[in-house]
Amino acid sequence: MSLPLVSEPRAVPVPRTSLGEGPHWDGHTQTLLWVDIPAGQVHRLDPVDGSHGVVDVGMPVGAAVPRVEGGLALAVRDGFAVLAEEGLEVVAPVTAGERPGNRMNDGACDRAGRFFAGTMSEDDTPGAGALYRLGPGRRCERVVADVSISNGVAWSPDERLMYYVDTLTGRVDVFDYDPADGGMANRRVFAVIPRGMPDGLTVDATGHVWVALWGGGAVLRLRPDGSLDLTVEIPATNVTSCAFGGPDLDVLYVTSAWDGRTGGELFRCTTFFTGLPANPYRENSTPDGRAPERW
């Protein structure tokens, strides 16, 4: 009898979130970051000893990644921010130029340390948001307009492709990507999602795309041509995102949202697959070599 490629998901013994999102494996500290968006909380888990910490940001937070210069880089309600010993500093107030009620949502960094994250309206108004890129020197640019619910961002192993989810389209799109300057071109449909709606995503070492299904209760693994490879059923209706972690990047962590009956747990699956290392935000174009601090 062959072993399953992905184990049954198990809930990690940490507090339930109302809207868990943005799992990110911090390879330097060997810990997992994720957020509870409306609570404005960043969570960190050490899977070795089970220790768990929470930082209250003071406003809704859609994504958290380590920052090479120390602390964390965040996508918060008001824009891109950094969280260091001095406290929270909004460095690019992107939502100030958008319609009232918008906030930032999911995001991720490329290998050069550019932080991509987008916005959405709290009432899900179509086309109210955008996707932004925060680069060295805190330079922020809008790179995709007319976005409804900006969600998952991830890259192929060679970084020549960038995958992107605008949830209300019901699909995963792909851009040609230039890792030298962060340029994006030739947007096209990668995969139409058959159940629920696409949310966060990640890419494994063989270039397969894993996408969480809001309202679909599962994570899909899609082949590099966009066809379905396998389905991982999750015991929560609103599955929000996924990321590989662990020393060998073979543990799939899955976040979820509470719907009044199920969800809000952080789930863990062991797999026969290997993820790609997650990247920190690099604020300086010439890095100083210091590793992110752990809090």
| pLDDT tens column, 193-232 | 999 999 999 999 999 999 999 999 999 999 999 999 999 9
Q: Say what the pLDDT of residue 286 is.
A: 54
Eight-state DSSP code of residue 6: B
Global pTM value: 0.95
Q: How far is CA 83 from CA 22, 78, 79, 193, 255, in A?
A: 16, 14, 13, 35, 22
Strand partners, 198: 213
Say whether pLDDT at 289 is over 60.
no
Q: Are 253 and 267 in contact (CB under 8 A)?
A: yes
Considering only residues 55 and 288, tell me which one the structure prediction assigns the higher pLDDT: 55
Q: Say what the pLDDT of residue 287 is.
A: 44
* Residue (of 245, 221, 219, 222) closest to 234 by Cα position: 219
Q: Which of 199, 204, 225, 259 is catalytic?
A: 199
Q: Say what the pLDDT of residue 293 is.
A: 44
| Segment 141-153 mean pLDDT | 97
Q: Supply 156's token pair.
A: 């192929």
Rg for the chain, CA atoms, rounded? 17
| Segment 29-45 mean pLDDT | 98
Q: Look up 49 and say whether it is catalytic.
A: no
3-state secondary structure of 46: coil
Hey, how many other C-beta atoms are within 10 angstroms of the C-beta on 146? 10
| Segment 130-143 mean pLDDT | 96
Chain-wide mean pLDDT for the chain? 94
| Segment 12-21 mean pLDDT | 97
Q: How confident is the model at residue 284 (pLDDT cuts 50, 70, 90)?
A: confident
CA torsion, ordered 157, 220, 197, 251, to nearest 10 deg: -70
Say whether pLDDT at 178 is over 70.
yes
User: Number of C-alpha atoms within 13 angstroms, CB side, residue 40?
Assistant: 12
